[in-house]
Chains A and B, each alone.
Chain A
Amino acid sequence: GAVVSQHPSRVICKSGTSVKIECRSLDFQATTMFWYRQFPKQSLMLMATSNEGSKATYEQGVEKDKFLINHASLTLSTLTVTSAHPEDSSFYICSARDRASSDNEQFFGPGTRLTVL
């Protein structure tokens, strides 16, 4: 099956710093990628939908100036958490849809665990 990678897998940073998380589709092209946030023992909450070459679409309540999304190519989307604070500590997961597939499946990355001190 298709593979999606995320980097880094785990990051610890000080409050006030910015953190960039990369999401890559390794063996397929993805015109659309999705960013989710998951707090402990909770479900995945969609933050934004990232479209290649255009602005991301953010879900209600998600600050677009705080969570910057860039989808510069068909295989890479990045999420930057700007001026991170302890309440931003969470598990961030990306997923991607295969541009060439009519299948409904989304392929998930392994996730990035962010801890803000």
Chain B
Amino acid sequence: AQKITQTQPGMFVQEKEAVTLDCTYDTSDPSYGLFWYKQPSSGEMIFLIYQGSYDQQNATEGRYSLNFQKARKSANLVISASQLGDSAMYFCAMREARGNQFYFGTGTSLTVIP
């Protein structure tokens, strides 16, 4: 089974609007971490936000917030006040406590429209 599922291959959002990128995960490990990365056309992976499985509150980092719904095993990324520079690929990833490996989703291509 897929460890990380991103069901939106492409998304469009109007500049200054908010957008939610979906991510669901599958694990039997009670301890895990969830990550979101941004990959612009240059290829570098830029860390955005992290949520630990035991964190009580949703993670926030500036305009990024993570809507963590543990029972549903979802970790959606919310970008508020979208900017043109937000146009990129976005990857959701998970690391289980019992291993070193990161599992990546297939990514969502976000395009911000002026």
Q: Which residues of A does B touch, CB under 8 Å? A: 1, 32, 34, 38, 41-44, 46, 49, 91, 93, 95, 97, 104-111, 113
Contact = CB atoms under 8 A, between A and B. Distances in A.
B25 interface: no
Contact of B43 (A32, A107, A111): A111
B43 A105 contact: no
Contacts, number: 51
A106 B37 CA distance: 11
B44 A110 contact: yes
B91 A93 contact: no
B43 A43 contact: no
Interface stretch (B11-19, B72-80, B95-103): B95-103
A44 B91 CA distance: 9
Nearest to B52: A104
